[in-house]
């Protein structure tokens, strides 16, 4: 176990102004609190907190973080209390220790719902003070280094949790060295044979070719010296898990995998980075498509470096990273660089990001997500994907995950832009919204007033922010639409029994049906989760209509004289259950319009022609035609599936017309024979749920009335 003096010496190396007395007091307090406790390996338990503190000294972290590491298990595993820690070491350290304790109690590998909620708590804890997760990561790293003492079952569980959660989180924070070590330690547990195989092949390769790292490193130093560039060069073989992952992704054997070596060039200035790149490319051939400039386009965690891959000795590909020392410090510690000390003061690294801004940008889009699975999906999307960098027409940079689409780009700019998106141009060329964006492209989003997100966008979007905004907009739109339709259905259902659907009546029905309020009742009624009969029966069980024989069309409308016949207006195609009004014609009887039909404005100055009508209550036959405006994907079998779906809803297709044909979409008008407004709503809901349907709406065209007259 590292002694107190040795630990203090490690801190003093980068922070001569360290509070040695406070660190020693924390060391002694932790040692006494954990006295008599042992790890599974048989070592005194306090060896673990000390080792965690030592790991954090490698990142040159502040005294508060080092002390938190020494005390991170005291509140949970000993008789120590929050109040006592606060009294001895201050409020800041007590809060950090308490935060780590709460993180330790999160079971991140539990069921989906619990995991999502715990992820939410994890991000909230990080948002308060990111140093909490730094201690937790160091804690996990030491536990993985000493995992052999655990049972095989616990080893597998901890390793899977490390691979799925902690390693990607470390990478997302920019702590690449920790991510690689965590992945490799977990890989050793989860697939020991695979790791051993990689190691054996490395040994065989070294025997065949010798150790190529010193030779390539020497060659690079020579080229840099020729160019007059003062720089350090380091080389290494990539970690076994990194190689294994590349083999799986590229589906190739070890012998065919070329870029298994990585080299790092550390220069004195940013200008020297680009000079070094020129020297390397002049000496070795660059591999196309393997160049990334993270100096001009930094990652969100502050990472800056130039990445290139070249063909080195014997045609072997090698990856080269070029950066300054300041960039290298951030690359090693990521967001933790904000707390790094050098010579007793906070390191004023120009590339270290503000952790508060970083974590708020990562969490703000998830806090409002209500659905647990949606939240978990969004978190994993943001944590586990690489980035692409695109430009707005004004030249501003937008960072997105690899595989992002124009929909993601639009929502990254602003939710309002995303909601109103109708198209996109990539490098001035119009492209479909599902186009995958690439680095360096310029994106222009085309918007239109009145546009709303489509359900199909959920399959197109990849970012958590876009998916969250789309789901929220769809929920709000659906609720408003369903509530409006539900109000009309409730009115018709109550009128059928001689009652009125007042707010008080609806509130009473909601209570009887154990719903939160009348708004929820109307939304459920409009979405066909409830029927008008069920709502009426909740208040008037004796008056609720029962199923009867179908009503003959001749007596479907009440309010006509015995000698009057009626026709449905083609402009609005009213359906049973909707409010209606009649307009009389000489020799033609009565034309029935929906009460909100635009064509009725022509008759405002002819009140003598208006008749107050309503549909007969009861069951109507499916003979009333309504026209649907449907946009479907242009793909084999789609139209057939849509027609089958309509038939499954007990609706008959009486006519079908293609009105617009595009390479990717067809727009058509479908005449369907229906029973009533409720039948129409059920059909539209079923079509909207179909992934091949981009849009569906009821077509009401005032010009049809004029066409009928002519």
Is 76 one of the catalytic residues?
Answer: yes
Beta strands in 578-647 (DSSP E): 580-585, 589-594, 610-615, 624-633
* Local confidence band at 410 (pLDDT 50, 70, 90 cut-offs): very high
Is 690 one of the catalytic residues?
Answer: no
User: In this structure, what token pair is assigned to residue 284?
Assistant: 């070795």
> Considering 20, 43, 77, 671, which one is annotated as catalytic?
77
pLDDT (tens digit, 9 = 90+) per residue, 249-276? Answer: 655 555 555 567 789 999 999 999 999 9
- pLDDT above 60: residue 548: no
Helix (H) or strand (E) holding 198: helix 192-209
> Considering 20, 76, 84, 550, which one is annotated as catalytic?
76
How far apart (Å, rounded) are the C-alpha atoms in residues 544 and 251? 66
- Within 10 angstroms of residue 253's Cβ, the number of other Cβ atoms is 9
Please say whether the beta carbons of 61 and 70 come within 8 A.
Answer: no
- Determine which of 112-126, 216-230, 691-705 has the lowest per-residue pLDDT on average: 112-126
Please say whether the beta carbons of 382 and 362 come within 8 A.
Answer: yes
Distances (CA, A) of 220 to 92, 213, 436, 473: 48, 11, 37, 55
Most confident of 192-206, 253-267, 498-512: 498-512
* Local confidence band at 710 (pLDDT 50, 70, 90 cut-offs): very low
How far apart (Å, rounded) are the C-alpha atoms in residues 580 and 602? 16
Q: What is the mean pLDDT of residues 324-344?
A: 75
Domains present along the chain, CATH in parentheses: 4-190 (1.10.3210.10), 194-346 (3.30.460.10), 472-539 (no CATH), 553-615 (no CATH), 624-709 (3.30.70.260)
pLDDT (tens digit, 9 = 90+) per residue, 147-166? Answer: 988 888 889 988 988 887 78
Q: Could you give the percent of the chain with pLDDT greater than 70?
A: 84
Q: What is the mean pLDDT of residues 562-581?
A: 89
- Output 297 or 123, whichever has higher pLDDT: 297
User: CA 433, 439, 441, 442: dihedral to nearest 10 degrees?
Assistant: 90
Q: How far is CA 376 from the centre of its chain?
A: 8
């Amino acid at each position: 176990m590292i002694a107190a003096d040795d630990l203090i010496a490690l801190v003093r190396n980068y922070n001569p102004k360290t509070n040695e007395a406070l660190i020693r007091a924390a060391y002694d307090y932790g040692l006494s609190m954990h006295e008599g406790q042992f790890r599974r390996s048989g070592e005194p338990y306090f060896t673990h907190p000390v080792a965690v503190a030592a790991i954090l000294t490698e990142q040159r972290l502040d005294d508060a973080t080092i002390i938190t590491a020494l005390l991170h298990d005291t509140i949970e595993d000993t008789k120590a209390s929050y109040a006592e820690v606060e009294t001895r070491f201050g409020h800041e350290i007590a809060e950090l220790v308490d935060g780590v304790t709460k993180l330790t109690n999160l079971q991140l590998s539990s069921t989906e719902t619990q995991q999502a909620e715990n992820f939410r708590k994890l991000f909230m804890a990080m948002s308060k003070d990111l140093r909490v997760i730094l201690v937790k990561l160091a804690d996990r790293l030491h536990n993985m280094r000493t995992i052999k003492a655990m049972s095989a079952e616990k080893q597998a569980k901890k390793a899977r949790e490390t691979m799925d959660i902690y390693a990607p989180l470390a990478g997302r924070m920019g702590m690449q060295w920790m991510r690689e070590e965590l992945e490799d330690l977990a890989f050793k547990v989860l697939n020991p044979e695979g790791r051993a195989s990689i190691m054996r092949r490395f040994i065989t390769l070294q025997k065949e070719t010798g150790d190529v790292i010193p030779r390539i490193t020497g060659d690079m130093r020579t080229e840099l010296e020729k160019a007059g560039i003062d720089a350090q060069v380091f080389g290494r073989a990539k970690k076994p898990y990194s190689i294994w992952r590349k083999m799986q992704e590229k589906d190739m054997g070890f012998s065919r995998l070329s870029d298994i070596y990585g080299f790092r060039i550390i220069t004195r200035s940013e200008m020297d980075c680009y000079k070094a790149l020129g020297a390397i490319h002049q000496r070795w051939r660059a591999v196309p498509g393997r160049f990334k400039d993270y100096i001009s386009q930094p990652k969100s965690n502050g990472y800056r470096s130039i990445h290139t891959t070249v063909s080195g000795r014997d045609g072997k590909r090698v990856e080269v990273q070029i950066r300054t020392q300041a960039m290298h410090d951030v690359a090693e510690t990521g967001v933790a660089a904000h707390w790094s000390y050098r010579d007793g003061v906070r390191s004023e690294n120009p590339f270290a990001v503000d952790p508060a801004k970083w974590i708020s940008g990562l969490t703000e889009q998830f806090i409002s997500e209500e659905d647990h699975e949606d939240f978990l999906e969004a978190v994993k999307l943001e944590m586990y994907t690489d980035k692409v960098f695109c430009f707005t027409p004004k030249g501003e940079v937008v960072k997105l995950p690899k595989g992002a689409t124009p929909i993601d780009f639009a929502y990254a700019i602003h939710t309002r832009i995303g909601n109103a998106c109708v198209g996109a141009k990539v490098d001035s060329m119009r492209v479909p919204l599902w186009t995958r964006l690439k680095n360096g492209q310029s994106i222009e989003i085309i918007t239109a007033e009145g546009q709303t997100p489509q359900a199909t966008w959920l399959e197109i979007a990849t970012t958590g922010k876009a998916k969250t905004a789309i789901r929220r907009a769809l929920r709000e739109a659906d609720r408003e639409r369903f509530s409006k339709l539900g109000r009309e259905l409730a009115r018709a259902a109550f009128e059928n029994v001689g009652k009125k659907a007042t707010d008080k009546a609806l509130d009473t029905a909601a209570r009887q049906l154990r719903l939160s309020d009348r708004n929820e009742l109307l939304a459920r009624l409009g979405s066909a989760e409830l029927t008008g009969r069920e709502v009426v029966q909740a208040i008037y069980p004796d008056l609720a209509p029962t199923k009867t024989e179908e009503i003959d069309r001749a007596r479907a409308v009440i309010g006509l004289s015995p000698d009057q016949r009626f026709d449905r207006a083609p402009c609005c195609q009213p359906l049973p259950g909707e409010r209606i009004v009649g307009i009389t014609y000489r020799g033609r009887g009565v034309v029935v319009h929906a009460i909100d039909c635009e064509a009725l404005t022509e008759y405002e100055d002819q009140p003598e022609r208006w008749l107050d009508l309503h549909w007969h209550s009861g069951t109507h036959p499916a003979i009333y035609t309504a026209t649907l405006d449907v946009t479907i994907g242009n793909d084999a079998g789609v139209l057939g599936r849509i027609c089958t779906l309509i038939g499954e809803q007990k609706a008959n297709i009486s006519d079908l017309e293609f009105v617009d044909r595009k390479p990717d979409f067809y727009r058509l008008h479908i005449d369907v024979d229906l029973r009533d407004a409720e039948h129409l709503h059920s059909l539209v809901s079923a079509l909207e749920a179909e992934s091949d349907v981009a849009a569906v709406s009821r077509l009401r065209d005032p010009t049809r009335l004029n066409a009928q007259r002519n």
